[in-house]
Amino acid sequence: MTMTSTPTPTPTLPLRSPRTRLRAAVLAGVLASGVTPARADDDALVRVIAEQAQVHTGPGFAFRVVYVATRGEVFPVVERATRAHWFRVRLPDGTGGWVLGDEVFPLDLEASDAHRGPSLWHRISETVFSPSPLLEGRIGLSFSAGVIGRDSAFLFRPAFILEPHFSLEGFFGETVGNQIDVIYYGAGPNVFLFPSSPVTPFVGAAMGGASSRTKADQFAVPTGSFTVLNVGGGLLVALKQRITLRGDVRHYVIFNPNHTQRIQEYSGALSIVF
């Protein structure tokens, strides 16, 4: 009788589902980049211990600075770099950035618990404000409306931001009165006192000219050209969605050889910084 043997089946590995293959690809990409995501249940926090700590778009000094943190600020940790001592943190406006580990200190569990109950002002700040655009912007455009003297005023103010504390700004606009309209123009510097703050006070001065013209039915009213000096200041407020508001209070001296006048400007503006 002839004996026949049944071949033993070769074991095969189970096929991976598309979801499993996707997870493996993501894990391989993370390991290759040298960045380890922080676990969601870690809820790690770091406190800034340097006088100022620059937050970059990537884990290195070559990356662009998007925020300048001050001593005592606390941020949630999103990722930790494994190839260098950098932390990716969540900024007040919800975006992320990388800070050097030597400039921050990880908080222990008790300190983290304390910071999970922020003050009312801290909650409002995170909800309403965003980082100051002066840290990365180079051009500013402001469209102001208000009053100069007792007349309605509309001004356009372009600015070159030379560095976060300092800008050169021009102004051009017009006031509309009952008898005459006045065109104003000139330029001058602005100095920002706390450029890393979302609410930034500033002081400024400018010099230029003014030219008045009568209404069509007011030919008897005298007109002329004048020199203009103004000094004052205001606030720049950075809000969410890249909205920046501005308020100005300035004292004007308008003069020529035959006339001198002192008036005030009170105006509000919508600003764009890029």
Task: Tell me the sheet residues that pair with 106.
Answer: 46
The domains located in the chain, with CATH, are: 36-128 (2.30.30.40), 135-273 (2.40.160.20)
Residue 196 vs residues 77, 82, 99: alpha-carbon distances, Å = 21, 29, 16
Output the tens digit of pLDDT for each of the chain's 274 residues.
Answer: 444 444 545 444 444 455 445 445 544 444 444 444 444 334 689 999 988 999 999 898 889 999 999 988 999 998 887 666 899 998 887 788 999 988 998 885 444 444 444 555 556 666 788 878 888 889 999 999 999 998 999 999 999 999 989 999 999 999 988 878 899 999 999 999 988 888 999 999 999 999 988 766 555 445 789 999 999 999 999 987 778 999 999 999 999 998 899 999 999 999 998 8
pLDDT of residue 108: 59
Q: Give the C-alpha distances (Å, rounded to integers) separating 239 from 127, 159, 242.
A: 9, 20, 6
Sequence-distant (≥ 6) Cβ neighbours of residue 248 within 8 angstroms: 144, 146, 232, 233, 234, 265, 266, 267, 268, 269
Q: What is the pLDDT of residue 14?
A: 47
Cβ partners under 8 Å of residue 254, min gap 6: 210, 226, 227, 228, 260, 261, 262, 263
- pLDDT at residue 135, as a whole number: 81
- Paired strand residues for 265: 148, 250
Residues with Cβ within 8 Å of 27's Cβ and at least 6 positions away in sequence, in order, are none
